[in-house]
Structure 1
Amino acid sequence: MPDVDEPERPAARHLPGHIAAALAGAGGAADSAGQPWSGRSLAGDDAKIHNFEDDDGRADAGYLAAVAALREGRGDEAGVVASLATARVFIPIVAQLAEEVETDRGLHGDKQADMALVTLKAADGRIALPAFTSAAALAAWHPEARPVAVYAARAALSAVAEGAELLVLDPGAEVTFVVRRPGVWALAQQHGWVPSYTDQELAGEMGRAASRFTAIRGIELLPGRGVACSAADGSIIPGGGAGPELQVVLYLADGLDAGAVQQLVAGLQAEWSRNVLFGERVDSLEIKLRRAPD
């Protein structure tokens, strides 16, 4: 029975309400804690401009510990994403020419430049937002970029605002860890995140949809081939990859021809795509077909 290896992604979904509300409120009359900007002074406690005035630029200790545990087999990628809930990261901002002027001698110069958020394009064409756990990592990646310190949850919200589905931590460093779309959404909403391949609630929903097809005798959810990533030294890390992160094994009744199998898989994918939970928690998947045991 053939394997179906092509990664599939759920159809586009509307942003969850928490994210949409947070984006709508950005740049308003109050700060992220709901305190109005009006009436602020630069005296006493109001003199503290942001939460990172005493920041030494080093990576968050909790994040480093979570990555170390993942590499050593003592942790998982859910633990790494959980560590980001309270971590500070740096977002790179670069100057972007907004208007060019020609001098009376025919030379071209910058008349106006804006500061722009840097985004990347992933191998599969999706937009990714780079973020750095340390100032040194950002400087090594782009010496001219300005580091803006934010909590990782705020970086995730910025990623959503930019249409980015991936948050890429420390590109070009020893360990580059990718937070996929469901993890980005969870961070932005400040919710916990469970990888799709260990999500029992999701498994139940997908299993119920599969049970509507009599030729499907069983279903199993496993980590996909895109879960792992490679460190700079060539070692394999069981997490932080860009996907596909979910492998779905379908155990089918014997006697199906290629056309019947294709129709069955298409119908099941259509069922899954209509499920809200599936759309929110699955970034990309691959389907494997197996003959059901006798």
Structure 2
Amino acid sequence: MPHEEHQGQGRRELPGHIAAALAGAGGATDSAGQPWAGRSLQGEDARIHNFEDDDGTADPAYLAAVGALLDGTGGEAGVVASLATARVFVPVVAQLAQEAEGVDGLHADKQADMALVTLKAPDGRTAMPVFTSAAALEAWHAEARPVAVYAARAALSAVSEGAQLLVLDPGSDFTFVVRRPAMWALAKQRDWTPSYLDDQLESALASAATAFPAVRRVETRPGAGVAARTADGQVVSGGGAGPELQVVLYLEDGLDAGAVQQLVSGLNEAWANMEAFAEGVDSIEVKLQRAAQEPGLH
């Protein structure tokens, strides 16, 4: 990421558009037309609404959920659920807005606006970095200003910035990626079920496949992209940014390459038109098996 410089020594107030994004981004409604109004982040269910006594450390519930993920006793859903009431830090940096020419051709003082930071994921999508502790943010970008917000508010800001991913603690010992469906669930303050654990989604995919007689059965599993790695190389079964859903198609024998390609293309189109698929799946990988290889068949 380019290294931006802060101009001037004093701390500046956030401009209105940035403050508005952090306070309640995403407009009056979400992409489904549902109003954001009523999704309060105050009260006992969100007791960390005020940050006056914040010591800048990571939320204990998040640390516990990540610990469970690392030792194999927890999963991605637990980590995302822990973020529902967690405080995080959004990095805001100065970007040069104007540089005037002064006397004798010398440059006058530069003016800088504050801007949210976004990144490009390896697949080209926009990602928004978020940090669970002030120390993690400072280690990543020493000149970024940490703005304390709810993780849900950070998700709303990501929506406003056109980001499809939240990246928690990039550059740290363990980086956890919140994919688009989980990010939207967090923004909407709804529970999130990973697509590979969603029985209703599996049934919907199988139902759509009935229009293709060559498909004998459909099965969903975690995709290879679910896995992430810690800084020391430990493989973790959650937090990855790649395809999170593997769809296994058990096909009748005798199909040639052209027929298989046409079949998969037709299924992809059918699935893409399903609301449950569009909202619940970030990305998929398709695995083809002969029906004779289906478990239980010999």
Same fold (TM over 0.5): yes
Aligned to 1:97: 96
> How many residue pairs were aligned?
258
**Residue 181 (structure 2) pairs with residue 182 (structure 1):** yes
Q: Is structure 2 residue 66 aligned with structure 1 residue 67?
A: yes
Distance 1:109 1:177, change over 3 A: farther
- What is the CA distance between 1:33 and its match in structure 2? 6.5
Matched, 1:193 2:209: no
Distance in structure 2 (CA, Å) of the matches to 1:95 and 1:71: 36
Equivalence map 1:1-294=2 (5 Å): 15-18=31-34, 21-22=35-36, 51-293=50-292
CA distance in 2: counterparts of 1:262 and 1:138, whole angstroms? 46
Once residues 152 and 176 of structure 2 are traced to their aligned partners in structure 1, the CA distance between those partners, rounded to angstroms, is: 16
8 A contact 1:76–1:238 mirrored in 2: yes
CA gap of 1:181–1:33, structure 2 versus 1, over 3 A, is closer
Change over 3 Å in CA distance of 1:292–1:110 after alignment to 2: farther
CA-to-aligned-CA distance 1:202-260 (integer Å, 9 cap, x gap) = 11111100111100001110111110111011111110000211111100000001110
RMSD: 1.8
Q: TM-score, normalised by structure 2?
A: 0.83
Distance 1:163-1:290 versus aligned 2 partners, 3 A rule: same
Higher relative contact order, structure no. (Cα contacts within 8 Å, ≥ 6 residues apart)? 1
CA distance change for structure 1 residues 91 and 184 in 2, over 3 Å: closer, same or farther?
same
Matched residue SS, 1:17: coil
Which SS does the other structure have where 2:271 is aligned?
helix
AA in 2 matched with 1:285: I
Task: Tell whether the 8 Å contact from 1:97 to 1:110 is kept in structure 2 after alignment.
Answer: no
- The 1:68–1:109 alpha-carbon spacing in structure 2 relative to 1, beyond 3 Å, is farther
Give 1:16 deviation, angstroms. Answer: 2.7
Between the aligned residues of both structures, percent identity stands at 67
Q: Note the residue ranges of structure 1 that are not aligned, 5 or more in a row.
A: 1-13, 26-30, 35-49
Q: Distance in 2 between matches of 1:118 and 1:79?
A: 26
Q: Return the alpha-carbon distance in structure 1 between the equivalents of residues 70 and 170 of structure 2.
A: 17
Please state whether the residue corresponding to 1:150 is helix, strand or coil.
strand
d(CA) in 1 for partners of 2:109, 2:81: 43
